[in-house]
Copies of this chain bind each other. A is one copy, B any other.
Amino acid sequence: MAELPQRVRIREVGPRDGFQNEPETIDTFDKVRLIDQLGRSGLRRMEVTSFVRPDVIPQLHDAAAVLEAIEVPPEVSLSVLIPNERGLDRALEHRDRFHEVSVFLSASETHNRKNVNRSIAESLDGLRRVLDRAREAGLRCEGVIATSFGCPYEGRVPPERVAQIAAALRDAGAQEVGFGDTTGMANPRQVRELFPQWREALGASDDVELTAHFHNTRGQGLANVLAALDVGVDSFESSFGELGGCPVPAGATGNIATEDLVSMLEEMGIDTGVDLPALVVASGMVRDVLGRPLGSHVSTAGPVEWNPPAPPS
């Protein structure tokens, strides 16, 4: 067994991905206090909103207000998801309030077309312009590749195609590439095979960070994290409360839960920098705001060190 990483980087995506996927739009006030609590938990990366069209995604209508109102420690790197140049224009009006942008496309033509009504090539053309201008503005850039491990329409996606898209994103200026398991089709054996392939395709250089974005759709999210750690991946994206992701069909879960990820890693002696009790407080707050049970486990069971006494069984 290879040595596991000693520390990992975690990007919290709940405030964008999670809030976007809730049927009811969360009050701006609640978003701000939730993000502020996450900022106090030791998380060092957070995707806080997206400048999408408010008539299409009303859940994020308040992107500007949220960006302006949140108060997080200066060491937290805030990112904003950018769908296109118009979104970038709006984001740049608040340039001093965030540090990174994320752009996305899918490795599956069918999924990309259904998602943004463009071919992969058309998406890449648009993202190149966004990334160019974002870098000019001094922003760090991440490109996320959805359906990297499989597509619900096309099945398994050729890993070479994913590698080509990753290289195109790097060439366009992305300093980080995220590999998304959009509908929870990844398995640990595949994860162990693909990340080394992708790292090699990117020249095995340290100038592009590889990030794993797993979903817990079939309960295997943290097993895929372990598999990724085993092949040297040390950057992950997750969502507090297990919010968001691609929760289909109804009742399914999406993103892996940040508190479950942190609990496992810290118990394994891998440093995340996160104060788990403070994170669990944030999850408890969002459960109250949403008024429904969460998909995450540690938000209910608590950290291991809390040792809830077990009844006889």
Contact = CB atoms under 8 A, between A and B. Distances in A.
B219 A260 contact: yes
A183 B301 CA distance: 9
Interface stretch (A26-34, A88-96, A204-212, A262-270): A262-270
A39 interface: no
Given A219-B297, A222-B220, A252-B300, A310 B246 contact: yes
B218 A249 contact: no
Contact of A251 (B152, B264, B293): B293
Nearest to A192: B1
A225 interface: yes
A309 B264 contact: no
Contact of A152 (B225, B246, B298, B309): B309
Interface in A85-132: 111, 114-116
B304 A185 contact: yes
Contacts of A190: 267-268
Contacts of A192: 1
A225 B156 CA distance: 24
A297 B226 contact: no
Contact of A225 (B221, B223, B296): B223
Nearest to A251: B300
Copies of this chain present in the complex amount to 2
A284 interface: no
Contacts of A298: 218-219
A contact residues, range: 35 or more
B183 A249 contact: no
A289 B195 CA distance: 43
Given A155-B307, A245-B313, A246-B311, 19 more contacts: A1-B230, A111-B310, A152-B309, A153-B307, A153-B309, A183-B310, A188-B268, A216-B219, A217-B297, A218-B260, A219-B221, A220-B264, A220-B297, A226-B226, A246-B310, A248-B311, A249-B301, A249-B302, A251-B300
8 contacts: A21-B313, A116-B312, A146-B313, A152-B308, A217-B301, A219-B221, A220-B222, A220-B264
Interface of A: 1-2, 4, 21, 111, 114-116, 146, 150, 152-153, 155, 182-185, 187-190, 192, 216-223, 225-227, 230, 245-246, 248-249, 251-253, 256-257, 260, 263-264, 267-269, 293, 296-298, 300-302, 304, 307-313
